[in-house]
Amino acid sequence: MSTQDTPTKVISDYEATLAKADSTVANFDRDDKSFIHILRNFLRTYPTMIPALVLVISIAVFSIIAPRFFGMGALSTVLKQVTVTGFIALAQTLIILTAGIDLSVGAILVLSSLIMGNLAVVSGLPALLAVGIGVFFGALMGALNGLLVARIKLPPFIVTLGTLSIFSALTLWYSKSESIRNVDIEAKAPELLWFGQSANFGGASLSLGGLTLFILAAVLWYVLNHTAWGRHVHAIGDDPDAAMLSGIRVNSVLISVYVVAGLICGFAAWIAIGRVGSVSPIAFSTVNLASITAVVIGGTSLFGGRGSIIGSVLGAFIVGVFNTGLSLAGVDDYWQMFAAGTLVIIAVALDQWLRRASQ
Amino acid sequence: MSAVKPILQAKGLLKRYGTVVAMSGADFELYPGEILGVIGDNGAGKSTLIKALSGAVIPDHGTIELDGREVNFRGPEDARNLGIETVYQNLALSPALTIADNMFLGREWRKPGILGSVFRQMDRPRMEKFARDKLSELGLTTIQNIHQAVESLSGGQRQGVAVARAAAFGSKVVILDEPTAALGVKESRRVLELIRDVRNRGIPIILISHNMPHVFEVCDRVHIHRLGRRLCVIDPKEHSMSDAVAYMTGAKLPEGVTEAA
């Protein structure tokens, strides 16, 4: 065997120089001197700073336009207004991180709140037990979404579009299209209104619900960034096949995400009862789209895998600040919707600009 | 070799995708401590064979035995838990996650004490140091920042991360599907050295490659795959590369083998 095809066991000549290869970690002169460069780099490293900056700037601008806006009074009004949307946005963020979308979050919230109200006020169950059952049903509805998405492999949009109708129908059937009045709740189950209470600091009143929103956001931030489960949620949204090949149990994680989202919506139902003071089968009809708006303005990508919990809370606040600010400035209501729409488009455009720059 | 039992063995694997046959009765043996090359034409079913061995594809028929015991993988995590680590052609990395997060995906280390057991906190500093060490071992010194997202790496660097991950965690078998396809001269050389290192640690390796010089340089035996099944196994010291190419393309039949219809 001495043909020229005989395998060679000698390292080729051109590879021999490798022994002299540089082994230090590569280092480059930094060229990020211009302001735009520094800004872009900063925003790329800390994407949550975009909604944070937008929030600060919009508060500043509205304070100039409408001096009444600047002050703890108006800001605590904003917090009250965005509390429920904020909770739902937290649930929505989890789903969107897995490259899904949940159109049924609002319906889960309303059905859960009716279960709580009916059991506590009409059936006379202890209020906390009624809350527990309501939250449980919220998780159950989330589990149904999760099973359909993960096991039957249906697109999340279709699944939750379907369950939105189903849950809404069940809501009307279960409630017989009747609301539960504030006076009845106050008389029979005042615990349902807990989260409506406020603590006063000078001119500002911080509602318990608003405070809980911050606590839950902090918990979810920790879970998403510092636990393995959080990494898996990101990985699945990023590339489900790669996640599967990396040994992640994609289906179990997906189902757990939908269950947690349902759990949050169920809990938000309790908050919502405290916020509104009554339970109505037709309340919170806009919270689905408002939550998606908040998540997108907060910088979470609808394609999954990238985003932040803090961003979604800030996103909810930005929409709230615009609504309150515009109405204090004496602008008609429909311009508030106009502003929210514009914000979504700008947020996504900004996100794309940053993403392009990173390639 | 006849006295030694194969560590990983497959018999009569069959897999159909609809009407397309990807494997039709493929056999496979990997012996302890060897580097086995797997070559074959495009579409010969190499990747399907490898995915069956790594749990990513569930064969319709046939058995897989690890250490003489039959195993039924329901997913890649099962194979991985048994110590079979794979670098796939598409690398299976999550672009938005950092290098360290990717290396530890699905097997994150937790902090000791209550932070880890109750609060499930990951031990990032330890994971990052480990990742940095493994990349340096591989000579991937052009990766400047271990906190970088994988999407900011070049194709070759990504492949390096995937190879480093498999080499670091494989305890029974390491499977490499085209590990040097996107790598530069220096990194390819390092991967080949790494393959030998891993083998010297006593872990057998399956190397799928189209790079004949690489296959012939490092492999102890070469499994030639053709038309969804094993055609033959040759010794690279006794056959030339042109023989191997002739076998796998069907230009020539190896001795003692009759082409199945």
Provide the chain A residues 288-307 that lie in CB contact (below 8 A) with chain B.
305-306
- Output the pTM of the full model: 0.87
> Which strand (E) or helix (H) includes residue A320?
helix A309-328
Provide the chain A residues 200-229 that lie in CB contact (below 8 A) with chain B.
222-223, 226-229
For B201-223, letters b (16+ CB in 10 Å) and e give eebbbbbbbebbebbbbbbbbbb
Beta bridge partners, B84, equal B173
Are A7 and B241 a contacting pair, CB within 8 Å? yes
Beta bridge partners, B63, equal B11
Chain A partners of B240 at a C-beta cutoff of 8 Å?
1, 3, 5-7
Q: How far apart are CA B226 and CA B244, in angstroms?
A: 11
* A13-65 tens-digit pLDDT: 666 666 666 666 666 665 556 777 777 777 777 778 888 988 998 888 888 88
Instruction: Give domain status of residue A52, yes or no.
Output: no
What's residue A14's pLDDT?
A: 67
Chain B partners of A242 at a C-beta cutoff of 8 Å?
90-94
Overall average pLDDT of the A341-347 stretch: 86
Instruction: Give domain status of residue A218, yes or no.
Output: yes
Cβ–Cβ below 8 Å for B94 and A305: yes
What's residue B66's pLDDT?
A: 93
Measured between CA atoms, how close is B38 to chain A, in angstroms?
16
Chain B partners of A308 at a C-beta cutoff of 8 Å?
none
Q: Quick one: how far is CA A267 from the chain centroid?
A: 15
Residue A161 burial (10 A CB sphere; 0-12, 13-18, 19+): middle
Cβ–Cβ below 8 Å for A14 and B185: yes
* A77-109 tens-digit pLDDT: 888 889 999 999 999 999 999 999 999 999 999
Among the partner residues A7, A238, A249, nearest to B94 by beta-carbon distance: A238
Q: Count CB-CB contacts under 10 A for residue A323.
A: 20
Measured between CA atoms, how close is B203 to chain A, in angstroms?
20
Domains: count for chain A: 1
Q: How far apart are CA B233 and CA B244, in angstroms?
A: 10
Residue B228 burial (10 A CB sphere; 0-12, 13-18, 19+): buried
Cβ–Cβ below 8 Å for B105 and A247: yes
On the question of pLDDT at A117 being above 90, the answer is yes
Overall average pLDDT of the A323-347 stretch: 86
Instruction: Give domain status of residue A90, yes or no.
Output: yes
> What average pLDDT is seen over chain A?
87
Beta bridge partners, B176, equal B87, B207
What are chain B's domains? 8-249 (3.40.50.300)
Instruction: Give domain status of residue A313, yes or no.
Output: yes
Q: Which residues of chain B have pLDDT under 70?
A: 1-3, 141, 256-261
On the question of pLDDT at A3 being above 50, the answer is no
Instruction: Give domain status of residue A327, yes or no.
Output: yes
Instruction: Give domain status of residue A101, yes or no.
Output: yes
For residue A100, give the CATH number of its domain: 1.10.3470
What's residue A314's pLDDT?
A: 94
Q: Report helix, strand and coil shares of chain A as percent, to nearest 5.
A: 70, 5, 25
Structure-block tokens of residue A260: 């947690």
Nearest chain A Cα to B215, which residue? A7
Instruction: Give domain status of residue A271, yes or no.
Output: yes
**Tally of CA atoms within 13 A in the half-sphere of A245 that contains its CB:** 24
For A165-191, letters b (16+ CB in 10 Å) and e give eebbebbeeebeeeebeeebbeebbeb
Q: How far apart are CA B81 and CA B75, in angstroms?
A: 10
What's residue A230's pLDDT?
A: 95
Instruction: Give domain status of residue A111, yes or no.
Output: yes
CB-defined contacts A:B, below 8 A: 123
Are A281 and A110 a contacting pair, CB within 8 Å? yes
* A229-273 tens-digit pLDDT: 999 999 999 999 999 999 899 999 999 999 999 999 999 999 999
What's residue B2's pLDDT?
A: 53
What's residue B41's pLDDT?
A: 87
Tally the residues of chain A: 359
What's residue A43's pLDDT?
A: 74
Measured between CA atoms, how close is B71 to chain A, in angstroms?
17
Residue A135, domain extent: 68-357
Structure-block tokens of residue A209: 């619900």
Overall average pLDDT of the A67-73 stretch: 76
